[in-house]
Chain A
Amino acid sequence: MTRSALERALPVETATEPIVAWRAWALSGRRDGSHLLLRPVVGRGRPWLPGRPAEANCRMLGPFHEAPQLACTCGLHGTHDLDLLRRTRCPAVIGRVALWGRMIEHELGYRARYGYPQRVRLICQFCFWQWGTHGVAPTSVGWFTRGELLPMCDEHAEMAGRYGMRAQVWLPLDEIDQRLRDTYAVDLLPS
C-alpha cells in the first residue's frame, strides 16, 4: 500500500484534550547551572522554550513541510510506555508530555505537531538504560563541554570519569532539579 493510500485508509479522529505520553529529553545550560533548556535527545533540534509550545517542523523530505507527515518520521515523539525510552540515546530527563495539534498515533507512541512538558525528573542515563526507573537516583549533575548537562549517580559518575568522560564541573542535583521545574513551571515526576 502506498503512503497516500495508507493515509486515506487510516482513521481520522478529533479530540479536544491534549494527549499525554512519555518522553525523554537532553538538558543544556550554563556552567553555573543557569539557563536550563530541554532539548531533543537526537539531532540538532531546537530547544523546548519555557512557557511556549514546542512546534515540530521538518526538512527531511526536501523542502520544509509541516510535521508530522505519514511519509516521514518527523514530529514531537512520545511513547505509550516508559520502558521504551530506555532505548533513547543520552537521556537526562524523563517525564510526561502533553501533545496536541495534528498527531499520528503509532503502535508504541505518537508523533505530534505541538508539545509541552507536564512533569519531569532527572535521571542517571546509565542506570536508566540498565534498570529503567528502578535504577539508582542521580546524586549530581555534570556540566560537560558544549553546555551539556548529565545527571549521574555516584557509581556511574566515577566510572564515567575513569573512561575519560569527565565533567568540567559537578552541580548539586537538588538545585538543578528545582531550577528545571521552576524554569518550565512544571511538577516533579514521582518515582
Chain B
Amino acid sequence: MDIGQPKRIIEVEPVSLPLPEAIPAPDPQPASVPEPAEPAT
C-alpha cells in the first residue's frame, strides 16, 4: 500500500502506553468431563 512521500519524523514517547491494563485469561482448553460416579449401592 502506497502511503506517499515522507513528510516528517516524529519521536513519540508516550507518558503512558496505550495498552489495556489487564488481558483476560486465554481461551480455556476443553475440560475433560469426569465420568459420573457410580451410584452407591
Question: Which residues of A line the B interface, CB within 8 A?
Answer: 6-7, 10-19, 34-35, 50-53, 70, 77, 79, 84-85, 87-88, 98-112, 116, 118, 179, 182-186
Nearest-Cβ distance from residue B16 to partner chain A, whole angstroms: 9
A84 to B1, CA, bound (A): 8
**What chain B residues lie within 8 Å of A104 (beta carbons)?**
6, 8-10
**Chain B residues within 8 Å of A50, by CB:** 23
Q: Are B9 and A99 interface neighbours, CB within 8 A? A: no
Do A100 and B6 contact each other (CB < 8 Å), given the known contacts A15-B12, A35-B27, A179-B27?
no
Query: B25's closest neighbor in chain A, by CB?
Result: A182
List 4 extra interface pairs beyond A51-B23, A105-B7, CB under 8 A: A77-B1, A100-B17, A102-B11, A105-B10
Tell me whether A185 and B14 are in contact (CB under 8 A): no
- Contact between chains at A16 and B12 (CB < 8 Å): yes
Give the distance to chain A from B20, nearest Cβ to Cβ, in Å. Answer: 3
Q: In the complex, how many residues of chain B place their beta carbon closer than 8 angstroms to a beta carbon of chain A?
A: 25
Contact of B6 among A6, A14, A87, A99 (CB under 8 A): A6
* Given contact pairs A103-B12, A106-B7, A107-B4, A184 touches B20 in the complex (Cβ within 8 A): yes
Per the bound structure, the CA–CA distance linking A101 and B8 in Å amounts to: 14
Within 8 A of A (CB), among B11-41: 11-15, 17-24, 26-27
* Residue pair A53, B4 in contact (C-beta under 8 Å): no
Alpha-carbon gap, A112 to B18, bound state (A): 14
A52 to B20, CA, bound (A): 9
State how many angstroms separate the Cβ of B8 from the closest Cβ of chain A.
Answer: 5
Chain B hits for A103, CB < 8 A: 9-12
Asked if A185 meets B23 with Cβ closer than 8 Å, knowing A12-B8, A18-B18, the reply is: yes
Q: Bound complex: CA of A85 vs CA of B24, how far in Å?
A: 29
Partner of B3, one of A7, A17, A18, A107: A107
Q: Is the CB–CB distance between B11 and A13 below 8 Å?
A: yes
Q: Which of A34, A51, A107 contacts B19 (CB 8 A)?
A: A51
User: What are the residues of chain B within 8 A of A52 when measuring CB–CB?
Assistant: 19
